[in-house]
Amino acid sequence: MSILSGKKVLLGISGGIAAYKSAILVRSLIKAGASVKVVMTESAKEFVTPLTLSTLSKHPVLSSFVNEEDENDVWNSHVDLGLWADLMVVAPATANTLSKMSNGVCDNLLLATYLSAKCPVFVAPAMDLDMYKHPSTSKSLEKLRSFGNTVIPAGTGELASGLVGEGRMAEPDDIVAFICDHLKRQAPLFGKKVLITAGPTHEPIDPVRFIGNRASGKMGFELAHCAADMGAEVTLISGPTHLEVANTEITLVRVVTARDMYEKVHEYYPHTDIVVMAAAVADFRPSKVADQKIKKKTAKMEIALEPTQDILASLGKAKQGQYLVGFALETENEMENAQGKLERKHLDAIVLNSLNDEGAGFDKPTNKITFIDNRGKSVPFALKSKTEVAADIFNQILLRLNAQEN
């Protein structure tokens, strides 16, 4: 998974020999998690077939405004295509297409879609050396940049003419890497290090039994994915859970007990900008852990418990510029208890959820929260999926961080 995961990418292909690479580019974009639709010029069909591209993209490939085989078919709307896309990539972008794009010429579906697009547009030039160096091409690229488009630098190497020089379309994997890097740099959390905890902790009674809770870890994992999608470098410290991460910007550190989590959190804490403690850490652990499995000898068994280390409070005391967010799962006097926890533990904000709210709490796909900051402002949210809740939480954090900076 990458920052392109879930993004809708419109790939425009113009008629140059580098169009043969577009099939590989479609695969690379899909591998990065994107959904891809293809618009191509008529001349591009001479280098790569629509059948190949539609098979790879799982979408029909469009090249004209109407279906010439069926005059009663619905026209292909360039407006709808432009609105569908989260970003548009024109690769290869020939000298002819670059010139038309920069001058507002609109004589095919690809160009009409480009002029309708509201999303970021990337162009990957591809042509022979002399064409690439010609002043008119340089002017086209300069104008496209001035319009807010992003030019993916052409590579250097052997060209179709046999010459060696600049003008090769960047390789498909390099195009995807360039786009990902560009999106990360534009993302609101780029350059930030985020630490998140998730899941339960298991406090052993003996080698086979433990004290735990019903936390699934889903809320913390969704927070980690959200932060990574926003461009952050994320460390996710998780108690026992079956959940996995696929985003390369997330470092997953697995722990078992509260003591394990305490040590790992404090290891990463000094180098962190934002901390969200979503884990349901056990408040108590057995005072003594049996070396062997405890046999059932009587009808009763008593286990002496002792408190675990309060990780959140320890972070509040050690805070040196980090934005620290805790969670409060309450069953009574919810707002009062959450605000008390925020103050006692020196937090910047706390996320309140109540087991009294249907659909909220442990091991559910949804949650209902109230975001409360240390200035007394509270923002309630409706019941939402935990993916949406994670976005709400980070949007609230960003609002406050941006206010501090301004």
Within 223-295, strands assigned E span 233-238, 250-254, 274-277, 284-286
Residue 146 has pLDDT above 60, yes or no: yes
Q: Mean pLDDT score of the chain, rounded to an integer?
A: 92
CATH architecture of structural domain 8-186: 3-Layer(aba) Sandwich (3.40)
pLDDT, residue 405, reads: 74
Alpha carbon distances (Å) from 255 to 30, 63, 107, 202, 379: 33, 53, 60, 9, 32
User: pLDDT confidence of 68, banded at 50, 70, 90?
Assistant: low
Alpha carbon distances (Å) from 31 to 28, 229, 341: 5, 16, 44
pLDDT, residue 73, reads: 54
pLDDT, residue 295, reads: 85
Given 67, 96, 213, 374, which residue is catalytic? 213
CB 38 within 8 A of CB 26: yes
pLDDT digits (tens, 9 = 90+) for 221-247: 999 999 998 999 999 999 999 999 988
pLDDT, residue 239, reads: 97
pLDDT digits (tens, 9 = 90+) for 42-65: 999 999 999 999 999 999 999 887
pLDDT, residue 355, reads: 78
CA distance 391 to 48: 40
Percent of the chain residues past pLDDT 90, beyond the cut: 78
Residue 2 has pLDDT above 60, yes or no: yes
The DSSP code for 258 is: H
The total number of residues written for the chain in this structure: 406
Residue 79 has pLDDT above 80, yes or no: no
Q: Which is nearest to 380 in space by CA: 359, 402, 362, 396?
A: 396
Q: Give start-end residues of each CATH 3.40.50.10300 domain in the chain.
A: 193-405
Across the beta sheet with 378-380, what order do the strands follow? 250-254, 233-238, 193-198, 274-277, 323-330, 349-354, 369-373, 378-380
Q: Give start-end residues of each CATH 3.40.50.1950 domain in the chain.
A: 8-186
Q: Which two tokens stand for residue 78?
A: 């360039």
Question: Which residues, other chains included, contact 268 with Cβ-Cβ below 8 Å and sequence gap of 6+?
Answer: 195, 235, 237, 253
CA distance 126 to 124: 7
Q: Is 103 a catalytic residue?
A: no
Topology at the third CATH level for domain 193-405: Rossmann fold (3.40.50)
Percent of the chain residues past pLDDT 70, beyond the cut: 96
pLDDT, residue 83, reads: 87
User: pLDDT confidence of 299, banded at 50, 70, 90?
Assistant: low
Q: Which is nearest to 181 in space by CA: 155, 209, 160, 152?
A: 152
pLDDT digits (tens, 9 = 90+) for 242-284: 999 988 789 999 999 999 999 999 999 999 999 999 999 999 9
Q: pTM, whole model, 2 decimals? A: 0.82
* DSSP structure string for 155-206: EEEE-TTS-EEEEEPPPHHHHHHHHHHHHHHHSTTTT-EEEEEESB--EESS
pLDDT digits (tens, 9 = 90+) for 161-215: 777 888 899 999 999 999 999 998 999 999 999 999 999 999 999 999 999 998 9
The 3-state secondary structure of 325-366 reads EEEEEECCCHHHHHHHHHHHCCCCEEEEEECCCCCCCCCCCE
